[in-house]
Each structure stands twice: as structure tokens, then as C-alpha cells.
Amino acid sequence: MAGKSGWSTPPTRFKETIDDAVGNRAREMALAILSEVVQRSPVGNPDLWKANIELKAKNTAMADAYDARAAEAGRKKLTKRERNENYFVGARAAGQGYVGGRFRGNNFVTIDEPGYYEINRIDPSGSATIQAGSATIYAAPPYSTIYIQNNLPYSVSLETGHSTQAPNGVYGLAFASVAEAYR
């Protein structure tokens, strides 16, 4: 008598298994890219701004010149406090009260269609951005397109090396890194 022939796994069950595997892999990679993008995103630091670097250099030079004259005359050098109070060594020309994290907070995720808006979120640590993006990614059905983007006007400048914190950009490096890891 011939053995029972047929599918060991019904085709519909096989399709569901494949759909789940594809969806899980896409979500896993999207989460990795989101994490890389957020962590690579520069957070504004006024101490690195040209105007502040120039002002600090000028004020430091004046304080150093005073110290040189004081040493020649046998007087003591300025204390750190005196340098700050008398020569404004720690002063900023720009960015007083500035809080960085706007670019990092504006990375966001959409499914199947890109978003043409900005997020009003300042997130220096990136945790709120990753949390919001992860929730969207986990909701993505299999075979969907997951967009991770940033629409701030200066995002293209940052991607093309405008920032000393991310001289080689953000998105391109994140994609290349994750693509290599999942080869």
C-alpha cells in the first residue's frame, strides 16, 4: 500500500510562516537603522560654533597676555574665576540658553508613505525618538515600506558633512553599517 502523500505543511501555513519571518526581519533591520540614525545624529553644541571658538580664542589671548605681563612684573597669574570675570573666557557670542537635540528629535518613522512634516521634539538623548519610532516599526505589517527620515531644513547640510560631530553624515552611514551587519 502506498504511503500517504501530500504537504507536510499546508501552503497557507507556509505562507504565514514566511510572512512572519519577512516582517520580523524587516522590523529588526529598521530598528537597527533607527537606532544608528538617532545615535549618529549630532546634537548642537555651542562650544563648537565658529563664533564662540573665535570669541574664546580672543578672550583667552587677552587673559594670557595679562598673565605674561604679570609674570614679568613678579605678580601672580589670574585665577580661573578672574579669567572668566575679567576677560570673559567662558563667554559665548552665540547660543546663550541654547538646548541641543532638535535634529535628533526630528528623526521619525512612517509606514508605506514618507511624511512631509517636522516633529516638534527636542531630544538630546534620543530615547523619546527611538521609543516613538520603535512603536511605529513594530506596527508595520510584512512587506511594507518603512521610512526613517528627518525633514528639518538643515538635515541635508548635516548629511553632507556640515557638522564636525557627523562629518560623514548620518543616514548613509547608518544604512551602510546595518546593511553590512545583516549581510
Q: Is residue 57 part of a domain?
A: yes
Q: Is residue 92 part of a domain?
A: no
Has this prediction a pTM greater than 0.85? no
3-state SS, residue 55? helix
Scan for cell 567662558, then name that residue.
90
| Residues 35-60: tens digit of each pLDDT | 999 999 999 888 888 888 899 999 99
Does residue 153 carry a pLDDT above 60?
yes
132 & 83 share domain: no
DSSP output for 69-118: HHHHTTPPPPPHHHHHHHH-TT--SS-TT----HHHHT-EEEESS---S-
Count: domains in the chain: 2
Domain span at residue 160 reads 28-44+100-181
Does residue 139 carry a pLDDT above 60?
yes
| Residues 97-124: tens digit of each pLDDT | 888 899 999 999 999 999 999 999 999 9
- Alpha-carbon distance of 95 to 92, in angstroms, equals 7
Predicted local confidence at residue 5, as pLDDT: 66
In the chain, the percentage of residues whose pLDDT exceeds 90 is 71
- Alpha-carbon distance of 89 to 72, in angstroms, equals 22
137 & 79 share domain: no
